[in-house]
């Protein structure tokens, strides 16, 4: 799965460079949670800047403005159904601060290897278990969250 997530992150970085200039509100983004139906997500956030497919997942990308260091948000759907995961892309190295904050909220580290961290915890909106990965590539940090059952299902392919 690490290879899959690395590929997803690399693909996210490539797709970010081609997104339009539409911006979503951070308050609206906070109302979106894992397993929310796609129709409800779109009703909250509006249409994405770009839609793509990556590793069999539909990816909807939203550009973020005026919320530095957050640059972009990617939402992952499997077969256009409920939201399976999210990816937040930050400019700079935000991994240490993100790790500390997640641990403060009860997340526990599953794997820590250099620029790659994997944690397990609960979604703050739904209470459902989630897997969070923090990855760094050059001057970007991505924080990807997948619903745990979905993550494990894809990991066991």
Averaged over 48-73, what is the pLDDT? 88
Segment holding 72, helix H or strand E = strand 70-77
Listed in sequence order, the residues at least 6 apart from 83 whose beta carbon sits closer than 8 Å to its beta carbon are: 32, 33, 34, 35, 36, 37, 38, 41, 75, 76, 77
pLDDT score of 23: 53
Give CA–CA dist 79/83, Å, rounded. Answer: 10
DSSP for 78-95, written as a single string: STTSBEEEEEEEEES--H
pLDDT score of 92: 94
pTM of the predicted structure, to 2 decimals: 0.80
For residue 62, what are the β-bridge partners? 73
Domain boundaries, the chain: 2-155
- Per-residue pLDDT reduced to its tens digit, 121-136: 998 888 899 999 999 9
């Amino acid at each position: 799965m690490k290879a899959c997530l690395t590929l997803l992150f690399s693909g996210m970085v490539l797709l970010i460079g081609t997104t339009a200039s539409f911006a979503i509100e951070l308050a609206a983004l906070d109302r979106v949670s894992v397993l929310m139906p796609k129709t409800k997500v779109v009703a909250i956030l509006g249409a994405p800047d770009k839609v793509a497919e990556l590793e069999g997942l539909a990816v909807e990308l939203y550009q973020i403005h005026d919320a530095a260091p957050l640059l972009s948000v990617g939402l992952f759907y499997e077969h256009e159904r409920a939201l399976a995961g999210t990816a937040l892309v930050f400019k700079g190295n935000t991994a240490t601060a993100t790790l500390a904050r997640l641990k403060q909220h009860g997340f526990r580290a599953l794997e820590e290897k250099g620029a790659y961290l994997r944690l397990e915890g609960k979604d703050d909106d739904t209470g459902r278990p989630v897997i969070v990965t923090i990855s760094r590539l050059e001057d970007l940090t991505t924080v990807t969250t997948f619903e745990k059952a979905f993550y494990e299902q894809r990991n066991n392919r």
